[in-house]
Chains A and B, each alone.
Chain A
Amino acid sequence: MDRVSLSVRRGEFFSLLGPSGCGKTTTLRLIAGFATPDSGELRINGTRANEVPPQRRDVNLVFQNYALFPHLTVERNVAFGLEIAGVRPADIAVRVRDALDMVQLNAVAARRPNQLSGGQQQRVALARALVTRPAVLLLDEPLGALDLKLRKDMQLELRALQKKLGLTFIHVTHDQEEALTLSDRLAVMHRGRVAQQGTPAELYERPATRFVADFLGESNFLEGEVVSAGAAGARARLDGLGAEVELAADGLRAGQRVTFALRPERVQLRTGGGGVPGWPATVEDVAYGGRDTRYRVAFLPGKSLLVRAPNAPRAQVGERVAVGWEPADLRLVSGD
């Protein structure tokens, strides 16, 4: 990991999103105290925490595999942190019951972890980490092992819980949809660095890098070259199209290569043969996707374009169509 700079606000649901090996779990382990940064500083509640051992950090981690203690009952698992902290037994009983109520698991309090379903184990892990009321709850792919339907339900539950408790959640996932749905803000990580951070809408609508545009949702990429740059702004010409695009970005110079991201749902597809405005293209593939239809159209030589368009009217494979877009839908992204 290199030069990762993040700041998470109190009470926020923050996600670290990225492919496996991007450094997101390492970041979480740095915060939990199971790894030490070679350089730089980690602050929790405004105080430097680099040298604080895990047991004295006011953060709790929900492990990817839950890490429930197999020899203890659900109740004793949840009580663990409170027992260590020396809370009075009578108070422990009340707080454990409340925590199990919160995740609707009081019925299985006397069972061992191996007698529970995956979803139940996940909730025990959540209750165990929350019962000591940490300042920050860290979640390492907490829903990764659950099947799709259960995962959707747990996403909503997790979000509701976080809002209700007002705690800071830092959540690691490789599921972009999960990150977009759950987070107040998120950071996309790539090769040990933060590629971009912001709200889900900011990242989706205005991806800064080619990687972010590709990883969060889908994108088409169009290449071009800066033809003029000056105080008034810059213009770029798209390869193979000859069309020029106005650029708001600074720091560009003439002759520089640029890349634009274009969301498939922003591409307009027009059927009806010759005379329709737009760039000519041929439909190569059509896939009905429920909410909309996905097309792959041959566009420029050797280049196809992904399009998501309303289900009707439907174009057929081999049909000549026209594609177009609003200039504002082309997002200038950096190369990696």
Chain B
Amino acid sequence: MGRLKFLPAAAALAFLWAPIAVLAAYSFTASRHATVWGGFSLAWYARVFENPALGPALGNTLAVGLASATLATALGTALALSLERRRAPALDALAHLPLLVPEIVMAVGLLVLFARFLRPALAPLGLEFSSLPAVVAGHVAFQIPYVMVVVRARLKDLDPSLEEAALDLGATPAQAFLRVTLPFLAPAVLAGACLSLSLSLDDFYVTYFCTAGGSGFRTLPLHIYAMQGRAGMTPEVNALATLMLGASMGLVGVSVWLQRKSHA
């Protein structure tokens, strides 16, 4: 019996990791087909780095990721601070609910908002709401609650008398925030930023729907989608996906490590 009780957990983990393992394993195949093992090779990784279309896609992905993570971290932290300091259950629920909204719903909602309202409203002013800011805005929208949750967990440990002590010693409220509250929150804020960045890097739905039609704006996930549609899947897709997986896992790892460290 003793060993058997690990069986369900082992089965669940195997099911969870099997696609990822297969994906990663076949990124090293020498074959032309993503599903055929033709011996070990790093050729597809070389192809990834040589592919001229990937440069702009990677650039877009990083630009969207860094910009959206920065904005979402600032806004999510501000939201966490304001919600933690008042009893507002309704606002609380509103702030958490987007975590439960299916991403496709969010994506379609953003599409309608941008295409139907924002772009027409800006057009007469001679302003164009191009793909990059649209995708950044979309990413910020779904990242905010994640940052808020992470920062609030830390904020609950903040002794309110610390800020009072800073005021008492002559600090203005702004100084107290910058010198005491923010350093205390820093690990959680950074963790929230890492989480946001990793969410942004592999996002498909919101990116796909926020991209202005015909602009040709592509991030890596959009590029992968296009690659497999066009020429059938080559292991180049596996290689690229494995690299992205590594980057995401690294970011989530850093995020978890920062949160653990701040709770120690």
Contacts and interface: CB of A to CB of B under 8 A. Distances in A.
B24 interface: no
Interface string A53-87: 11110011101110111110000000011001100
A34 interface: yes
A81 B170 contact: yes
Interface stretch (B43-51, B161-169, B224-232): B161-169
Interface of A: 32-34, 53-56, 59-61, 63-65, 67-71, 80-81, 84-85, 128-129, 132
A81 B166 CA distance: 8
Nearest to B264: A114
A55 B168 contact: yes
B253 to A, nearest CB: 23
Contact of A63 (B161, B171, B180, B183): B161
B175 A84 contact: yes
Given A69-B180, A84-B169, A85-B170, 12 more contacts: A33-B168, A34-B164, A54-B164, A54-B168, A55-B167, A61-B164, A61-B165, A63-B161, A69-B165, A71-B183, A81-B169, A84-B170
B161 A54 contact: no
Contacts of B179: 80
Interface residues of B, number: 17
Interface in B183-201: 183-184
Interface string B133-155: 00000000000000000000000
B169 A67 contact: no
Contacts of B166: 69, 80
A60 B164 contact: no
Given A55-B172, A84-B175, A65 B161 contact: yes
Contacts of A85: 170
B168 A32 contact: yes
Contacts of B162: 67, 69-70
A61 B167 CA distance: 10
User: Which 9 A/B pairs are nearest by Cβ-Cβ distance?
Assistant: A81-B169, A67-B165, A67-B161, A54-B167, A84-B170, A71-B183, A55-B167, A61-B168, A63-B161
Query: Looking at B162, B164, B168, B179, which has the most chain A CB atoms within 10 Å of its CB?
Result: B168
A132 B167 contact: no
A129 B167 CA distance: 12
Contacts of A34: 164, 167
Contacts of A71: 183-184
B164 A55 contact: no
B75 to A, nearest CB: 24
Nearest to B161: A67
